[in-house]
Structures are given as C-alpha cells and as structure tokens.
Amino acid sequence: MGLRFIIPSLLIATTCAFLVSLGFWQLDRADEKRSIEAAIKKANSGAVELIVSVDNLQDKEYYEVRLQGKYLNDKQFIYDNQIVDQASGYYVLTPFALNEQSKAILINRGFIPWNGRRDKLADIFIDRGEREIKIQISKPIKRMELKASEIGREFPVLLQALDLKQMGVIAELDFSDVIGLLDADSKDGFVRKWEPYTGSIEKHIGYAIQWFLMALVLAIIGIRLAIKQRKK
C-alpha cells in the first residue's frame, strides 16, 4: 500500500473525525439552549417579585422583577454598533437607583436605529421622578474589540463594549454586576425585542445534521477510493 493511498486516507479520516466533532459540538450547543429555556421558564413561573436591594439581583438571571426608584437621567450611556431587524443603531442604557440604595443598576431601555444620522442622537431624555419598573435580569456579555476605543466623559457617553466597572468610574456610581432589560410594555423605552441567547435550538440541530451529512459523504468517498485501490 503506497503513500499515494495512505496520505489521502489519513486526510479523509481526519476530516471526517473533525466534521463529526463539529456535529456533536452543535448538539451540545442545542442542549445548552434547552437548559436556558428551562431556566427562563422556571424563573418566570411565579409572581413578579419586588426587589428592594440591588445585591439581591445577582442570582436572578432571566427573572422578571419589579424595582422602585428613579432614573439618573444625567448619566446615560449609548451602546453603539447594535443590529436589530437588520438595522444598525444603539441601545440606551440608563442608571436606575433603587430607593434608599447606594448602588445602581443599568437599565437597557431599548434600541434606536441611526437611520443614516450618526451625528445626531434621538431624544433619550427621561425625568427623574420616582417610579416602579418591570425588567428582566441579564448578565452583560463583554464582546471582543479589535482595538481599545477611547471613551469620552461627556454624557450621554458613547460605548463600543460593556465594562460595568469602567462605566461606574465614569458615572461615579457603584453599578450592579447585572443589567435590567426594560419590559416591552413599560413606558419610557424604545424598541425592545429581547432574546435571552443568540440563535435557536432548531438552528443548532440543523447545523449538526449538515456536519454529520458532510462527514458521511466524505466517508463514502473514502470507502469508494479504498475499494478502487484494492481492485488494482
């Protein structure tokens, strides 16, 4: 058996194993999504709890809760480079101080498209009056930056990535480690189409099937080559 047969066989076998591993990885991702869906369903199966301390929010990911306090309208952030319904724009992040609490939580009030005018922000003003809001607790994901961007100090501050510690320094506030996604039915918000995760279970299963089929096709090609070589 010559090298002309051994080397292609090894390449085919290695590629098949790689494709199969990708298929199982996608199935694992689908299982993760199922776990998240189960956690969301469990979290929101009861009454919407009124939270009186920011410290009690740490273990409430995916939970819908109620908060009482006021927005700090002079320390808002613009979270840029967002895509919703194929439109580019930004999220409006507004600090919310709970009554008699030293800490604050950032509330994502929703998405606003740029509409071709990156030089002009929409009106994001909100009054400081006391109110009750309903939110879903989310843990912020710090996305990768190709290079560090300079952050200004004039509010509203434009951001390319979330860094709650740095944002707290800029705003001179002690922020919670979680953020709140303003309920879609609440007032004083913008476009809100919250998704607890990226992608869907069906999509991951579809990708897994594709990888497995590619591995199967490649395996069949390898078997046919082996039979052809044996007949020679």
Task: Express each pLDDT in 81-111 by its tens digit.
Answer: 998 988 999 999 999 999 888 889 999 999 9
Q: Does residue 208 sit in the same domain as residue 117?
A: no
Residue 165 pLDDT: 92
Look at residue 137 and tell me whether its pLDDT is greater than 70. Answer: yes
Residue 57 is assigned to a structural domain of this protein: yes
Q: Does residue 33 sit in the same domain as residue 76?
A: no
Q: Does residue 28 sit in the same domain as residue 55?
A: no
Q: Does residue 76 sit in the same domain as residue 154?
A: yes
**Cα 88 → chain centroid:** 16
Residue 190 CB-half CA count within 13 A: 21
To the nearest whole number, what is the mean pLDDT of the chain? 86
Q: Does residue 176 sit in the same domain as residue 218?
A: no
Residue 45 pLDDT: 73
Q: How many domains does the chain have?
A: 2
| Structural domain of 217 | 17-37+201-231
Q: Does residue 138 sit in the same domain as residue 90?
A: yes
Q: Does residue 86 sit in the same domain as residue 171?
A: yes
Residue 1 is assigned to a structural domain of this protein: no
DSSP symbol at 130: -
Q: Does residue 217 sit in the same domain as residue 124?
A: no
Single-letter residue type at 208: A
Look at residue 198 and tell me whether its pLDDT is greater than 80. Answer: no
Residue 223 is assigned to a structural domain of this protein: yes
Look at residue 181 and tell me whether its pLDDT is greater than 90. Answer: yes
Look at residue 116 and tell me whether its pLDDT is greater than 80. Answer: no
- C-alpha 80/C-alpha 92 separation (Å) is 9
Residue 132 is assigned to a structural domain of this protein: yes
Look at residue 127 and tell me whether its pLDDT is greater than 50. Answer: yes
Task: Express each pLDDT in 48-60 by its tens digit.
Answer: 888 888 888 888 8
Look at residue 156 and tell me whether its pLDDT is greater than 90. Answer: yes
Look at residue 128 and tell me whether its pLDDT is greater than 80. Answer: yes
Helix (H, G, I), strand (E, B), or coil: what is residue 71?
strand
Task: Express each pLDDT in 58-83 by its tens digit.
Answer: 888 888 999 999 999 999 999 999 98
Residue 146 pLDDT: 46
Residue 87 is assigned to a structural domain of this protein: yes
Q: What is the mean pLDDT of residues 121-133?
A: 92
Residue 162 is assigned to a structural domain of this protein: yes
Quote the percentage of the chain above a pLDDT of 70.
90
* Interaxial angle between packed helices 3-43 and 201-231, expressed in degrees from 0 to 180 and rounded to the nearest 10: 160
Please give the span between the terminal C-alpha atoms of the chain, in angstroms, as a whole number.
11
Residue 199 pLDDT: 60
Angle at 54 between CA 48 and CA 58, to 5 degrees: 80
Note the pTM of the prediction, 2 decimals: 0.72
Q: Does residue 68 sit in the same domain as residue 153?
A: yes
**Buried b or exposed e, range 75-86, using 16+ CB within 10 angstroms:** bbbbbbeeebee
- Kindly state the tokens that stand for 79: 């979270």
Q: Does residue 161 sit in the same domain as residue 75?
A: yes
